Structure 1
Amino acid sequence: MTIGPIELEIIRHRMEAINADAGETLVRVSGSQIASEASDFNTAIMTADGTVVSCSKFILVQSTSLNLIVRDILDRYGENPGIGPGDQFLTNDPYLGTLHQPDVTLVAPIFHDGRLIAWAGSTVHEPDVGGPVSGGFNYAARSIFDEAIPIPPVKIVESGRIRRDIERDYLARTRTPELNALDLLGQIAANRASERQLLELCAVYGANGLVEAMDTLLASTEAAFRRRLKELPDGIWRENSFIQHEQRRGADYMPNQVYAVRLAMAKSADRLTFDFTASDDQAPGAVNSTYPTLANFTMAAVLVHICQGLPWMPGAIWRTIDIRTRKASVVDAEWPAGVAMSTGTSAQAIRNCVSACLARLLDGSEKHAHMAMASSQSSGAGGMSISGHRLDGRPFTTLFLDELSGGGGATVDTDGCDTSGTATSPGATPSNIETNEAYYPVLYLTRLELADTGGPGMRRGGVGAMHAYRPHRTDRSIALLSMAQGLQHPATMGLAGGEPGSPSGFAIMSGDVPVDHAMGWPDLADVVEIRLPDARTQLHPGHMLVTSSQGGGGFGDPLERDTAAVLADVLDGLVSTEGALRDFGVVMRRDDERVLVDRQATDAERKARRSTRIGEREPYRGGGAVGGRRLSSHFRAVETANGEQVACASCGCRLCGLGERLYSSLVLHEAPAGERSAITDRYPGSERFRIRHFYCPGCARQVDVQVALAGEPVLEAMDVRPQAKSEARS
């Protein structure tokens, strides 16, 4: 049968439906709230050589490098133990292709008349996969031998039958064998559902037709993506992101050390290069990422930010991307480094860096600037493994993902979505409160959207949420192992002068604190001892845990936000009256029972702030729209007798020559990391971080905001190349 454009679209959409159906099958069989409630899983369809041609949109990072796992199986297992119809292979090896050991992947070859034509795969985060600490995470890990030992690919299903010896070995490692067994059955069923429906496509279009269609879809998506890249400006964009973990040098132990992930992203013609070589050396603990994790989080960010309107087809996009890295670094750990906590620590820093650089790239495009989006929430303190014993003595362990209630990033046209979660995990959500309470001995006291957590900007970032729960129907303490990131500084970056979203929050306090009446941390900060979670953190009976997720990044100068939008946020409880003044320079007043904007006072407040930004001078208004080539929302390249100059897009102020140090020509103001938070400055180590605000020296517009280590040089976040003469003539 001839596969034309119409047939291609039918097959592409059918594969997306097959993936979705596989996910539904997995959830129906699984007994774990991690999969059925939080949707911490993903499914994918691959070509015969493992190239990912279609993936679900739950946890994107779990499927974009499944090709590495399939390639290993093809290279090593062709003769022994062999690859045949009805086989399925299980692995949780992060050095091979998964993110970390709790993510268990199952891939299945699909044969038609004895010919290998495709693979189906799925990944699920398991509540426990063994190791010395319940849940699979170990703060004190010095190497992977202090964590769950990874399982290389093993044939757990052979000719359609589960191998009981391999299944027995797999389940013997875990503290939650019943749940893991159900998840395994769910994954087997999901892969079989994909196999059945792909073979139904073969019955319609022929095996050759399906294979041809997949190859054509990959080629056409690659071509479309290359065309999009060519429409974007060439240059280099940079971003740094930070995590905290202990450090050891010989016999010395230093808690709460900082590790930096540093990215320089270059775009040239139709290729993207992500250079992470300047990132810090690997940590002596569990927070490192392996290369597959680095690749997965990079690709997921590319799909979300650049592939809007294009098929999310990782196998096609990989053909246009280079990743440069350095072995034994925190983003490309060398065996046997510990990596189990990577997804909530260094991997999030990787995603933050990639998202920020891609957003800056898009913001520099005349055609695609509308696609630029500030960062969504990062991993926070609310993501944690909990374990303990029920009242009857039965043990439990699981993963709570309350952190997935953070805010989305703003764009030039829209505010970020409130409590929407992580952009690279579009299908993931926190578990239902009642489900968590039914499964585990906890009682939730509150779950509420948290005012003032969205990053301020012309467009506001989405707000995060606060959660509180206490032990219930147990007389024992509950062990808490939080990822504990984003507490000492914001980790969700704004764009084009927008502010970062709020940092995370974590505190254990007395159970008699009226948290259900609190509106946020300002009401609680004075009644609790703030400390960082560690390996010994316990939630005792009579106490409660309070956590908050991060807000999304804002877009644009907060002083340019429409006062009516600020008022609407105040009335909706998303911004407090104090936050309206502090973050947006908007003064509120009461008229009887109504809250109104005091326009005269607001105008005066904003005027005074702009003057303060540039040393109490009167800002320059400019003469209207500034011409020249777009570099970003705030900068234009203007032709002069001395070559191209960078000018402010608002007032026309000439800043520097193109290719010179732009950020050195801006006005810089540094603030503490907790400038908008009631608790951030109380976490040990927060004094090491600064929020850097950059203003145009002419009109005082806020053009960028960066999070940095105190004393570090200013990051030149944008290095746009001069326009070639041939381009200028065209």
Structure 2
Amino acid sequence: MKELDPITLSVIQNGLIQVCNEMDLAFVRAAFSPVISEALDRSDGIYAADTGELIAQGELGLPIFVGTMQFSTQAVIERAKEVRPGDIYIVNDPYLGGTHLMDVKFVRPFFYKGKLWAWLANTGHWPDLGGAVPGGFSANATEVEQEGLRLPPVKLFKEGTLDEEILSIILSNIRIADQRIGDIKAQAAALSIGDQRLTELLDRYGEDVVTRSIRELKVRASEQMQAKIADIPDGCYHGVAYVDSDGVVDEPLKIDMKVTSKGNRLHFDMSGSSAPCMGPMNSVLATTKSSIYLAMKHIFPDIPINAGTFEPLDIDDPEGTFLYARYPRPVSGCAAEVSQRIAEAVFNALVDVIPDLLFAAPAGTSGNLAVGGYDPEREKAYVMYVISGGGYGGYREGDGLSNGCSTIGISKTTPIEVMEQYYPVLFEEYSLHEGSGGAGRQRGGFGVNYRIRLRRGEARASMVMDHGRFGPLGALGGEDGGTNKVLVEAGGQAYVPPHLSKDQDIQIRAGDCISVSTPGGGGFGDPFDRSPDLVARDVRRGYYTAEQVRERFGVVIDPGTGTVDELETYRLRTAAE
């Protein structure tokens, strides 16, 4: 058998990724919902026929879905019967390898020359799946049924034909049902594109070459990850992160992360974390594991993604904690919020030992805000879903990025012009959350402020956010980033949610406003080591006030010239030492 040469291997690797990229693009271009078409909350991948292991994922897909789609595909394989070309299974059950209910997976068998050769799968965030509140983010649900419609793997398409009976069940249980058919057809069409492109790849290079390449790429990805891990000194490292609350009981939830490095493997133990919670901040096992996968991908971004990437990572099932949710625990916050705290705990555990590869904590919240109501002018119901960015943490070589995507994905805020066109709202502000970047030798990036006014009708607002109680962690002496803030002005009264960043069913009417300020990133290194000239530049740009930099960076700005008062700065920093 002819040995695979490096060029062929590289071509096959990129060919598989390109298949997934084309599925991603087809999905985005055809999707109806702005949360998919504009915010890019979706992913596509190719999975092994027998094991469901990840073969390739699109470069445009959300990282958190890397692991979870592998688990949900495995759940389909376990339950699939009489699989035929053109079948598509739909599943969103969080306990069967899922995330929260709004992340709906389509899984399609791929046949080549009459043989089941692989599975194609994608995930799209649907703006509503029923449940207690529009948008599905029930901040104080106490059981999963309150969060929406839960679907085990069922054939929505049978040999290419949409099953109208199953569709009618789904549409009868969700809001804005008339608008979902566009997303359903877009999601199915993306898998059809994948079927065509993967067939073309196999036809061009041959089944044997592609099969052997996939096997070799998995081995090499594992070896690359092992080589990176081998550079981490042997030892046991401890990191902690906190979820503000579960939305029901106003107490923090602790993620206790112990990472043991030994040779070329890492072991993860979360058994010291908080017990299962009443509210919707429980995390299913697939999301918990996927959060660790994506954390390691953040640390070693040059390693290609397939099942081999995760092979050197040994993760204990965190049974008895809120990181291993079982039915009927509510889970709407697991993928969007808890996942980011898990990754943050990994970063916190390893930043001291590999500081050149890591950074202070990023904003770490997707800022999920859903507003649902009836537009009297257009005479139809709507659900508006807002994802917002925040600051990245400072790192060895520079300051954190402002208004970056969340830790778990590439999802971005839908352009405000699009939301104002679709929904009866007006964005009165969209600006930097000045002062929110954590102080450090390299400061954190800044979050954003936005303010939405309801223009007409009535609506209900719900939110599941985080970092309202604790800001993103600083690293190596850096200050924590600024916290998330929410303010609702309704009927002439100002309202701050009791859980700071989590609430549901807030009634608003025309003229009422919702204001949100997202977190900044943590600072990296001692703030008093930051160049006074850089601090002065930040003040001139309006990022911090003179009072803030005096307190947080030990730099005194001359009020007359706006430059550094070097003598007073020296005295202040010397006194602090």
Q: Count how many residue pairs are aligned between Structure 1 and Structure 2.
A: 570
* Aligned: 1:181 with 2:188: no
Q: How far apart are the structure 2 equivalents of 1:458 and 1:542?
A: 43
Check whether the contact 1:2–1:209 (CA below 8 A) recurs between aligned residues. no
Q: 2:365 aligns with which of 379, 385, 390?
A: 379
Matches within 5 A, 1:386-425: 386-392=371-377, 394-402=380-388, 405-425=389-409
- Deviations along 1:53-88, whole A, 9 cap, x unmatched? 2223442112323222222222222xx3x2222222
- Deviations along 1:583-607, whole A, 9 cap, x unmatched? 211111144xx52111111111111
Aligned to 2:71: 68
Matches within 5 A, 1:309-708: 309-313=302-306, 315-363=307-355, 369=356, 371-379=357-365, 382-392=367-377, 394-402=380-388, 405-425=389-409, 427-472=410-455, 474-476=456-458, 478-490=459-471, 492-509=472-489, 530-532=496-498, 534-591=503-560, 594-610=561-577
Alpha-carbon offset, residue 271 of structure 1? 1.2
Aligned to 2:159: 159
Alpha-carbon offset, residue 226 of structure 1? 0.5
Q: How far apart are the structure 1 equivalents of 2:271 and 2:179?
A: 40
Q: How far apart are the structure 2 equivalents of 1:455 and 1:414?
A: 13
Check whether the contact 1:302–1:358 (CA below 8 A) recurs between aligned residues. no
* Aligned: 1:169 with 2:151: no
Check whether the contact 1:30–1:179 (CA below 8 A) recurs between aligned residues. no
Q: How far apart are the structure 2 equivalents of 1:554 and 1:547?
A: 22
Check whether the contact 2:226–2:264 (CA below 8 A) recurs between aligned residues. yes
Alpha-carbon offset, residue 140 of structure 1? 3.8
Alpha-carbon offset, residue 157 of structure 1? 1.9
Q: How far apart are the structure 1 equivalents of 2:96 and 2:380?
A: 35
Q: How far apart are the structure 2 equivalents of 1:475 and 1:147?
A: 25
Q: How far apart are the structure 2 equivalents of 1:416 and 1:233?
A: 27
- Deviations along 1:400-452, whole A, 9 cap, x unmatched? 112xx201122101111111122331x21111011111111111100001211
Give the 3 Å change call, closer, same or farther, for CA 344–438 of structure 1 in structure 2.
same
Aligned to 1:716: none
Give the 3 Å change call, closer, same or farther, for CA 287–161 of structure 1 in structure 2.
same
Segments of structure 1 that go 5 or more residues without pairing to the other structure are 248-253, 364-368, 513-526, 611-730
Alpha-carbon offset, residue 185 of structure 1? 1.3
Aligned to 1:50: 52
Check whether the contact 1:344–1:485 (CA below 8 A) recurs between aligned residues. no
User: Larger C-alpha radius of gyration, 1 or 2?
Assistant: 1
Does the residue aligned with 1:19 lie in a helix, a strand or coil?
Answer: helix
Alpha-carbon offset, residue 112 of structure 1? 0.9
Alpha-carbon offset, residue 466 of structure 1? 0.4
Q: How far apart are the structure 1 equivalents of 2:9 and 2:480?
A: 42
Aligned to 1:645: none
Give the 3 Å change call, closer, same or farther, for CA 66–328 of structure 1 in structure 2.
same
Name the aligned partner's letter for residue 449 of structure 1: L
Alpha-carbon offset, residue 229 of structure 1? 0.8
Does the residue aligned with 2:252 lie in a helix, a strand or coil?
Answer: strand
Give the 3 Å change call, closer, same or farther, for CA 539–484 of structure 1 in structure 2.
farther
Check whether the contact 1:559–1:585 (CA below 8 A) recurs between aligned residues. yes
Check whether the contact 2:457–2:510 (CA below 8 A) recurs between aligned residues. yes
Give the 3 Å change call, closer, same or farther, for CA 414–297 of structure 1 in structure 2.
same
Q: How far apart are the structure 2 equivalents of 1:276 and 1:372?
A: 21
Give the 3 Å change call, closer, same or farther, for CA 312–500 of structure 1 in structure 2.
farther
Alpha-carbon offset, residue 328 of structure 1? 4.2
Q: How far apart are the structure 2 equivalents of 1:179 and 1:264?
A: 45
Q: How far apart are the structure 2 equivalents of 1:318 and 1:195?
A: 26
Name the aligned partner's letter for residue 410 of structure 1: G
Does the residue aligned with 2:237 lie in a helix, a strand or coil?
Answer: strand
Give the 3 Å change call, closer, same or farther, for CA 67–530 of structure 1 in structure 2.
closer
Q: 1:59 aligns with which of 55, 58, 62?
A: 62
Q: How far apart are the structure 2 equivalents of 1:179 and 1:297?
A: 31
Name the aligned partner's letter for residue 423 of structure 2: Y
Name the aligned partner's letter for residue 396 of structure 1: Y
Give the 3 Å change call, closer, same or farther, for CA 510–131 of structure 1 in structure 2.
closer
Check whether the contact 1:511–1:544 (CA below 8 A) recurs between aligned residues. no
Give the 3 Å change call, closer, same or farther, for CA 553–245 of structure 1 in structure 2.
closer
Q: How far apart are the structure 2 equivalents of 1:66 and 1:391?
A: 39
Give the 3 Å change call, closer, same or farther, for CA 58–539 of structure 1 in structure 2.
farther
- Deviations along 1:73-124, whole A, 9 cap, x unmatched? 22222xx3x2222222110011011211000011222111112222221111
- Deviations along 1:266-286, whole A, 9 cap, x unmatched? 111111111111111111222
Alpha-carbon offset, residue 295 of structure 1? 1.3
Does the residue aligned with 1:38 lie in a helix, a strand or coil?
Answer: coil
Aligned to 1:206: 206
Percent identical pairs in the alignment equals 25
Q: How far apart are the structure 1 equivalents of 2:181 and 2:225?
A: 40
- Deviations along 1:333-390, whole A, 9 cap, x unmatched? 1211111232344333222212322433422xxxxx2x2222211116x422211121
Does the residue aligned with 1:588 lie in a helix, a strand or coil?
Answer: coil
* Aligned: 1:282 with 2:265: no
Higher relative contact order (CA 8 A, sep 6+): 2
Name the aligned partner's letter for residue 52 of structure 1: L
Alpha-carbon offset, residue 152 of structure 1? 0.7
Check whether the contact 2:89–2:107 (CA below 8 A) recurs between aligned residues. yes
Does the residue aligned with 1:242 lie in a helix, a strand or coil?
Answer: strand
Q: How far apart are the structure 1 equivalents of 2:547 and 2:185?
A: 53
Alpha-carbon offset, residue 171 of structure 1? 2.4
Give the 3 Å change call, closer, same or farther, for CA 268–502 of structure 1 in structure 2.
same
Name the aligned partner's letter for residue 500 of structure 1: D
Does the residue aligned with 1:496 lie in a helix, a strand or coil?
Answer: coil
Does the residue aligned with 1:43 lie in a helix, a strand or coil?
Answer: strand
Check whether the contact 1:501–1:550 (CA below 8 A) recurs between aligned residues. yes
Alpha-carbon offset, residue 394 of structure 1? 2.6
Check whether the contact 2:452–2:514 (CA below 8 A) recurs between aligned residues. yes
Aligned to 1:8: 9
Name the aligned partner's letter for residue 378 of structure 1: G
Q: How far apart are the structure 2 equivalents of 1:535 and 1:422?
A: 22
Q: How far apart are the structure 1 equivalents of 2:123 and 2:260?
A: 31
Q: 2:267 aligns with which of 269, 273, 276?
A: 273
Aligned to 1:96: 96
Segments of structure 2 that go 5 or more residues without pairing to the other structure are none
Aligned to 1:83: 83
Q: How far apart are the structure 2 equivalents of 1:494 and 1:337?
A: 32
Check whether the contact 1:588–1:598 (CA below 8 A) recurs between aligned residues. yes
- Deviations along 1:126-148, whole A, 9 cap, x unmatched? 11112232222323422123222
Matches within 5 A, 1:702-721: none
Name the aligned partner's letter for residue 262 of structure 1: D
Alpha-carbon offset, residue 22 of structure 1? 1.3
